Amino acid sequence: MYLENYVRDLAKSFYWQKLYSSSKTNNGIHIFENQTNFSGIQILFLYWLEVYHLLYTELSQKEWENLNEEVIKDNIRTDAFLYWRSKEQEHELYRIKQQEREYKAQNKKPQRGQVRQHQIFKGVPKK
């Protein structure tokens, strides 16, 4: 728990966020001294760098009403927000898929007098 908090506090800091954004656009800027063979804690740190990078981006775009600086500062509130957001996104995805299914189902039913596209190319049935 302590280690994760240590990694998260570093990852959300201005210094590391700035370095991370710069490294994304400038190939000459590296986050770590080593470029390969990352340690487990470095991989964990990279994960949280990206999570906080996204959170700060969404915060600046005011994407979510319940995301603010105080939420980001507090690890428990951030965890809660991340879970809530994943559920919201799941619901949204489900809603879109449901709409797609309904749309496809409606379009499958041929209207009276309407010829299905594949019937045009069907050719003469074999006797």
Residues near other proteins (CB under 8 A):
1, 3, 6-7, 9-10, 13-16, 32-34, 37-45, 66, 68, 70-71, 74, 76-77, 79-81, 83-85, 87
Closest CB 5 distance from other proteins, rounded Å: 12
103 to 52, 83, 92: CA distances (angstroms):
37, 30, 16
CA angle centred on 61, ends 55 and 63, rounded to 5°: 70
Which of 40/113 has CB closer to other proteins? 40
Q: How far is the CB of 53 from other proteins (least distance, A)?
A: 15
Residue 58 CB, shortest distance to other proteins, in Å, is 14
DSSP class of 33 = S
Q: Are 31 and 23 in contact (CB under 8 A)?
A: yes
Beta carbon nearer to other proteins, 14 or 121: 14
Please say whether the beta carbons of 55 and 78 come within 8 A: yes
Count CB atoms within 10 A of the CB of residue 35.
Answer: 8
Nearest residue (CB) to other proteins, 1 versus 115 = 1
Tokens describing residue 71:
């939420």
- Cβ of residue 1: shortest distance to other proteins, in angstroms? 7
Using the minimum distance from each CB to other proteins, give the nearer residue, 33 or 125: 33
> Which one-letter amino acid corresponds to residue 101?
R
